[in-house]
Structure 1
C-alpha cells in the first residue's frame, strides 16, 4: 500500500489551501480514501500572538465537522501543550490515538512549537499503515511551515497595526496614497492630565497606567465589534464601520462600548484608590462620518493613519469634555441615529471646524 497521490498533494498543492482547518479536513479525507482507518484528527500549531499560545483544530471523519480550541498564554509565558486534542479524539469511542510531530522522525518527542498531528483510529494500525501515516506526517511539514509563516506574519501585523491595516499590508498596499474611504462611527478617547501624571510618577507606573487605560477602552471597543485604529500618546482612535449596516447599529454599538469602558475605568479607579494611586480621568467623543484610512510618510517609511473632517471633528469634540464637565460627548450626527437617551448641550464652535457642532452628553450616573 502506497500513498503517491497524497504525498504529491502534500508537496505540490496543500500549501495553497487558505487555512490549517481546511488542510486537516483535506488530508484526513485523502488518507481515508487511501485506506487508512481514521475516525478523526487533530492539528496543533503554535501561535505567535500576545494572548494566544497555540491553536488546535479538531476534525471528525463521520460528518466532516471541524472545531477550534485555543490555548492561551499565561502571564507572558507560553503553557505546555495540553491534552485537548487527545481527549477529544478519545471521545470518538475509538480509544486509539496515533500522534506525532509533523516532519519529526519516528519516536522523537515533539518540541513545544512543532506542529503536531494526531489521528483517532477505528482499529489498530498494521505496521505498514503506521509507516505510511508517519510518511504522511513527514511530508506534511512543508505545508504546515507555510501555514505557520502566514499565521505569524498576520498575527504580527494585526498586533502592531490592527486588523484593517494588517489586511491592507497583506494585500500589498505598500505605497503612499493607497487606502480606503470608510463610513464609520468614530470614537476618540484621551486621558486628562497625563502630562502631569507622567512627570510625577516613575516611568514604569506611567506605562502601567497607560496599559490599564488602553485595556479598558480597547477591550470595550473590540467587544462591541469595533476596531482600534491607532494609539496616539495617551489617546485612542477607534472605529465602528457601517459596512452596509444601518447607521443606528454602529452608533448603538459605539455607545455601548463607551458605557462598558466607563464601567471598566470606574472599577480601575476604585482599585487605584485602594492602592493609594490617583484616578485616571478621561474624555471620550463619538461622531459619525467619512474618513480616509491609508498610507502616509516617505517613499520607504510608511504609516497607516486616518484623515478627514470626521477625524478632525471627533478629536476637537473630545477637547470639549473638560470645559463642559462631561466625560463623554456625542455629536449630532450620532444622536440623530441612536436609540440611546442623550442630554442635549446645544451648539458649540470647535476649533478649526467651520460649522458649529450640535453636542450631546450621556446621562451622568
Structure 2
C-alpha cells in the first residue's frame, strides 16, 4: 500500500520531533496540505510530575502557533478529565462537531482532537483516524522521552538533568564550574523527629523544603541535594557575571527567611513547635558531575567550596545568626552585609571572613 506523505512522515520522521508541540504543529500543517479543513488541533499527554497531571498543546491552523495548557492536580482537587482543556478551547473555534482519537491502546494514552473549519466529511474523518493510528509510535517515543526527562528533573533539577542526558554514564564525566553555593539546615530537628509522629515530621520537612527550594528556584538557582533536613543548592556563574549569581543567592536567602517567618506564624497558630534554621552562602569552584561506584552513580558537586559552605552553616547557631555569608561572596555582592570578623572552620586550613545578612 502506498502511504500518503503525511503517514510516511509519521512512520519515518515524526519521532525525531523536538517535542510534542512541534509534532502537533507539523501534523496539523500536513493534514491541511492534504485538504483536511482544520481550524485547530489539540494534543493531550499524561506526564509524571509532582504538580502537573497532564499537558495539552493547542495549535491554530491560521497562524501555525502552538500554546500550552497545563492540567494541575493539587491534593484534594479532582483534575480535569483527559482532553477537557483542549475540548473547551477547540469548541470555541469549531464550526461543527469536534473529532478526537485516543492514540494507542492505553486508556490514559495521548488524545488527539481537531476542530474543523466546517463539519468533516466521512473521508476526512477517516484521514484523521488514520493519522491518529500512525501517530501512536512517534507519540509513544516522545512520551517516553518526556517521562524520562520529567522524572530526572524531579530528582536532579533541570540543569543537572540536561547534563546527565547529554553525557556518558561514567564516573570520569564532569566539569569544574564557578557558582554561588547555598547550604541550609534545620536546627534541633533531631529532637522533633524523636518526639513527634512520623507524619508530623514529614509534613514539617516538606513545609521547610517548600520555602527554601521555592526561594532558590525563584531566583534562578538549582537544588542539588536534600541531605536529611538540609539542602545544597547552586547559582551557577554565567561567564564572568559573579555578581549576578551572588545577588541571586542573597535574595534567595532573604526570601527563605521571610517564608520561614510566615510558616512559623502558621505553626504557632496551630500549636506546633517553631522551626529554626541556619543558612550559609559562599562563592567558589566545584566539580559538578558523576561520582560513585562503577555501576551506581550520583550526579553532585564536590570540592573545597562545598566543604566550606557546609562548615560555615555550622557557625550560624554559635553566632546567633540565621544567615552567614563568606568573604568571597560578600566581595561580589551589592547587598549591605554585617562583618563578623574572621573565624576558623572545622577542617578548613585558612580562617574565613564571615558576614551576616541583616536580620531585619
Class of the TM-score when normalised by the shorter of the 2 chains: over 0.9
- How much does 1:312 deviate? 0.9
Q: Hey, what does 2:90 align to over in structure 1?
A: 89
Q: Hey, what does 2:116 align to over in structure 1?
A: 121
Distance of 2:238 and 2:231 partners within structure 1: 21
- How much does 1:87 deviate? 2.3
Q: Hey, what does 1:15 align to over in structure 2?
A: 15
**Partners of 1:173 and 1:179 within 8 A in 2:** no
**Partners of 2:291 and 2:299 within 8 A in 1:** yes
- Bigger drift between 81-90 and 209-218 goes to 81-90
Q: Hey, what does 1:348 align to over in structure 2?
A: 343
- How much does 1:18 deviate? 1.0
CA-atom RMSD, angstroms? 1.8
Gap change, CA 1:137 and 1:82, over 3 Å in 2: closer
Q: Hey, what does 2:228 align to over in structure 1?
A: 233
Distance of 2:333 and 2:61 partners within structure 1: 47
Distance of 1:234 and 1:264 partners within structure 2: 17
Distance of 1:324 and 1:248 partners within structure 2: 26
SS of 1:124's partner is: coil
Question: How big is each residue's C-alpha offset from its partner over 1:197-229, in whole Å with a ceiling of 9 and x where there is no partner?
Answer: 212222222111111111110011111111000
- How much does 1:93 deviate? 6.2
Distance of 2:132 and 2:83 partners within structure 1: 20
Q: Hey, what does 2:61 align to over in structure 1?
A: 61
Distance of 1:237 and 1:200 partners within structure 2: 26
Distance of 1:30 and 1:103 partners within structure 2: 21
Gaps (5+ residues) in structure 1?
105-109
Counterparts of 1:314-325 in structure 2, within 5 Å, are 314-325=309-320
Q: Hey, what does 2:32 align to over in structure 1?
A: 32
Q: Does 1:176 align with 2:137?
A: no
Task: Give the 4+ runs in structure 1 shifted more than 4 A.
Answer: none
Q: Hey, what does 1:197 align to over in structure 2?
A: 192
User: What is the TM-score with the length of structure 2 in the denominator?
Assistant: 0.95
**Partners of 1:41 and 1:117 within 8 A in 2:** yes
Question: How many positions carry a matched residue from both structures?
Answer: 358
Gaps (5+ residues) in structure 2?
none
Distance of 1:173 and 1:301 partners within structure 2: 13
Distance of 1:81 and 1:258 partners within structure 2: 39
Q: 1:357 aligns with which of 342, 352, 360?
A: 352
- Bigger drift between 16-25 and 244-253 goes to 244-253
User: What is the TM-score with the length of structure 1 in the denominator?
Assistant: 0.93
